[in-house]
Every structure is written in C-alpha cells, then in structure tokens.
Chains A and B, each alone.
Chain A
Amino acid sequence: MSVRHALLALLMEGPKFGLRLQQEFESRTGEVWPLNVGQVYTTLQRLERDGLVESDDDGGAGAQKDFRITASGQRELAEWMETPPDAGIPPRHELVIKVLVALRVPGVDVHQVIQAHRRHLVEVMQRYTHVKAEAGQHDIGLALVVDAELFRLEGVVRWLDAADARIGQLDAIPDPIPMDVSDSPTIVASRR
C-alpha cells in the first residue's frame, strides 16, 4: 500500500492537516490498516520536498499545519492510479516451498501438511468475513479492503486444493527432485 499516494488522494478533497489525514486514512481502509501519525508526518515532509504538496508557510506550524496538493502532485496521483502494481515477478512463495519439502521428506504425509495450511487459511478467512458481516453492507471501504484479502487467501486455498489433487493422482513416487529449494520456481517448472 502506498501511503504516499493515499495521502495525495485524500488531499484532492481539499487542504488537511496531518492528524486528520491519519484518521481519514484509517476509516476509509476499514480500519484494517493501522497507520501511525508519525508515519503521516514523515511522508508529508517527503511529499513537500518533492514538490507534490505544499503547506502554509505563515507560521501555522505543528499539528494544525494544513497541506495542499500541488499540480505535479495531481499528475503523480493520476499516473499512479493507472500504473499496474508489481505483480509480474512471482515471489518465492514460502508455502510452495513447504509443500515441495513435505513431498520429499520420508514419513511426512503431504496431504496432512496441505490440510494444516488449508485450515489455517480458512480460519483467517473466517475472521475477515466476520468483520465484513458485522460491518453491514454500507461500509464500502472496509468491504473492498476485506474482499481483496479474501480473494488473495482464496487463491492460496485453491492452489492447495489443486496441489492436493495433483499429488493424489500420482500413483508412484515422483522422480527425485533436488532438495536445494533456493531456486524453487524453476523446480516447479521442470518437474514432470
């Protein structure tokens, strides 16, 4: 989450001071993302240094100092909204590595390992869903934030389901694969 751009977006509605920006950030992200006020001030200082916001210079310093977005701040925000997030490079997924390891270690039931992770993920999803259910349908900020987490977690559960089914279909022990998992993405690609 770019705190920088979130603050620029809040300033599009008009000048605001730091504490108010912090409160609005939290309420509009469904209070799922806590943000401390110190982080808000550090970010504002950097934005001001980069010419993306400006503040009153008339001595109104401290907590009540108003910040305004500049024209280049507005351009920066518009560009950022349409820039794809960095989703191109697959991260080395810890869960993938754990399942690969479980597949190779003698005496380990890989299905049981998969189920332990599945249960944990579904429990986290239950907690998020509970937050959404209790909040009602009108808190759009919270619903969007929680949905994003739920879709991400669901994706991981679906990967576990697919892994479970794939491994279940193997009737023999698979060909040996190296235990060196430091380059795990290529192991996934080259297996079988």
Chain B
Amino acid sequence: MSAMLELRGVSKVYGSGPTEVNALHDVSLSVDRGEMVAVMGPSGSGKSTLLTIAGSLEEASSGDVLVDGSDLRTMSADDRARLRRRSIGYVFQDFNLLAGLTATENVALPLELDGHESGVAHATGLEALKTLGLADRASHFPDDLSGGERQRVAIARAMVGNRRLLLADEPSGALDSVNGEAVMRLLRNATKRGMAGVVVTHDAQLAAWADRVVFLRDGRMVDNTMPPPSPESLLSGPER
C-alpha cells in the first residue's frame, strides 16, 4: 500500500544571500492511511512549514511531495487546487471559522466551493456535525459556541466529504487539557477510519496521541519514536 502522504528529501529556503533561511532541510516523511503522525519541535524548527508544504499551501524549494501517490510538482495549479479542496482537511489553532456563517454552513462550505449542490452540501455538513456530537449546535454562529465546540466544527469541516489527509497545526492551542484531549480523540478516530493525519504541536501530551512522533530541530528531522509496544509493558514499569 502506498503512503497517503510522502515527503522525499524536502527542503525549504526563504529569502536569499545573507538573509537566507533554511526552514526545512532534507526532510523525508511517510504517513500511511489510518496513521496519525505528530511533529514536535521548538518554535522555528520548521513544523508549520512542513505542514503547509504537505498541504500544498506552499511549494518546497527542492524534494518531492506526493499526496495519494500524485507528485504535487507535476500537477497543474488547477489540479492542486482541486486536491486541496477535496482531499486535504486543515485544522488550525485559531479555528478559522467564518463568523457570518452558521456551524453547518461553515462545514458545508468546502463542498459548495467544490461544486456540490447546496442542499446536498448542507445535509453532508450536518451529518459531519452529528458525528462529532454537535447536532444541537448546527445553526449556531461561531461566536455563540465555546472554544471546544468551535474546534469540533473546524474538525468537522476538515473531515467532510471524502477527505483523506488531515493536517492540524496546534489544534488545541487555546483549549484546556480536557477539551484538548477531546480534540485529539476526534482526530485519532478520524485516522482510525482511514484518513492519514499529521498533527504539529509542541505539546507532548497531544503528541502522545499519535501512532508515531517525529522530532524537528532547526529544520531537520532528528529523531522519531518507535511504534508503541503493548500497553501491558506499563505494568512492568520501565519508568517509575
């Protein structure tokens, strides 16, 4: 099975000459369907750059980015835009919901932009909200929702339709730890249902929800965790 997301030797350079900044240096990462990978690192380590390149919001300076086997570099701009609309869902730290639209309208928006008939888009959007336990908030505007509810709406929007790649940048940044955990549970469930997920965070408790954690430092991937062994190993207690 091919990976849903594959970065091969990706580098990103901003500026040139004396102001040149190497945001990413020769990063390779492969994320399968059904897998959630967390990217950890301090501020300025290249975490967000990695995510925007994976989501085709920015181009790599060198290296290859493949989404579901398609090389972004060889795609036309139209095809890339279609891929972003249909296949990639984004969750941001500050939710990025449109204040003038209800929860359902926010979730349905990507479908409508992709040419779906409005009634169908709304029905699909409502269904996604129901899955996340937000049926009774469907006609509320973002300002009338709590932080945790807003982020669930944003996750519903990122999952609606047949999206296959879920990219999240500090998805529970402003939420308390219990709401943050709820967000991570939803992202984990989405990947268990077959999406591939990448979560960027500096928070070890959130990263620990991932199947695999990779560590960035100064734009380089320096390390990653091994897949977690069975939970039984906790009882024998390596860390006491």
Most buried by A among B42, B213, B224, B239: B239
Q: Does A139 touch B at the CB level, under 8 Å? A: no
Q: Does B100 touch A at the CB level, under 8 Å? A: no
Please, which residues of chain A bring their CB within 8 A of the CB of B207?
122, 125
Q: Does A123 touch B at the CB level, under 8 Å? A: yes
Q: Does A154 touch B at the CB level, under 8 Å? A: yes
A153 to B215 alpha-carbon distance, docked (Å): 17
Q: Does B204 touch A at the CB level, under 8 Å? A: yes
* 1/0 contact string of A91-130 vs chain B (CB within 8 Å): 0000000000000000000010001001111111111111
A133 to B234 alpha-carbon distance, docked (Å): 15
Q: Which of A124-165 contact B (CB under 8 A)?
A: 124-131, 133-134, 137, 150-151, 153-154, 157-158, 161, 164-165
Q: Does B208 touch A at the CB level, under 8 Å? A: yes
Please, which residues of chain B bring their CB within 8 A of the CB of A174?
none
A71 to B185 alpha-carbon distance, docked (Å): 44
Q: Determine the residue in chain A with the shortest Cβ distance to B226.
A: A123
A34 to B203 alpha-carbon distance, docked (Å): 30
Contact call A131/B205, Cβ cutoff below 8 A: no
Please, which residues of chain B bring their CB within 8 A of the CB of A126?
208, 210, 213, 225, 228
Interface size on A, residues (CB 8 A): 30
Please, which residues of chain B bring their CB within 8 A of the CB of A127?
228-229, 231, 233-234
Interface residue from A34, A118, A122, A131 paired with B231 (Cβ < 8 Å): A131
Q: Determine the residue in chain B with the shortest Cβ distance to A161.
A: B42
Please, which residues of chain B bring their CB within 8 A of the CB of A124?
234, 238-239
Contact call B42/A32, Cβ cutoff below 8 A: no
Q: Which of B20-68 contact A (CB under 8 A)?
A: 40, 42
Q: Does B79 touch A at the CB level, under 8 Å? A: no
Q: Which of B169-189 contact A (CB under 8 A)?
A: 185, 188
Interface residue from B42, B217, B225, B233 paired with A122 (Cβ < 8 Å): B225
A129 to B199 alpha-carbon distance, docked (Å): 16
A137 to B229 alpha-carbon distance, docked (Å): 22
A52 to B229 alpha-carbon distance, docked (Å): 43
Contact call B213/A122, Cβ cutoff below 8 A: yes
Contact call A119/B231, Cβ cutoff below 8 A: no
A32 to B205 alpha-carbon distance, docked (Å): 18
Interface residue from B42, B209, B229 paired with A165 (Cβ < 8 Å): B42
Q: Does B235 touch A at the CB level, under 8 Å? A: yes
Please, which residues of chain A bring their CB within 8 A of the CB of B188?
133
Contact call A125/B208, Cβ cutoff below 8 A: yes
Please, which residues of chain B bring their CB within 8 A of the CB of A165?
42
Please, which residues of chain B bring their CB within 8 A of the CB of A120?
239
Q: Does B223 touch A at the CB level, under 8 Å? A: yes
For the complex formed, measure the closest distance between the CB of A144 and the CB atoms of chain B, giving whole angstroms.
12
Known contacts A115-B215, A119-B225, A122-B40; is A153 also within 8 Å of B231 by CB? no
Q: Does B123 touch A at the CB level, under 8 Å? A: no
A34 to B232 alpha-carbon distance, docked (Å): 12
Residues of A within 8 A of B (CB): 32, 34, 111, 115, 118-131, 133-134, 137, 150-151, 153-154, 157-158, 161, 164-165
Sorted nearest first, the 6 A-B pairs with minimum C-beta distance are: A125-B208, A129-B208, A157-B204, A126-B228, A131-B231, A124-B239
Of the A-B pairs whose beta carbons lie under 8 Å apart in the complex, a sample of 12, sorted by A's number, is A32-B235, A34-B235, A118-B223, A119-B213, A119-B223, A121-B204, A121-B239, A122-B40, A123-B225, A123-B226, A127-B228, A137-B185
Q: Beyond the given A32-B234, A119-B225, could you list 12 further A-B residue pairs with CB under 8 A, ordered by the A residue number?
A: A115-B223, A119-B213, A121-B239, A122-B208, A122-B213, A124-B234, A125-B207, A127-B231, A129-B205, A130-B228, A133-B188, A157-B204
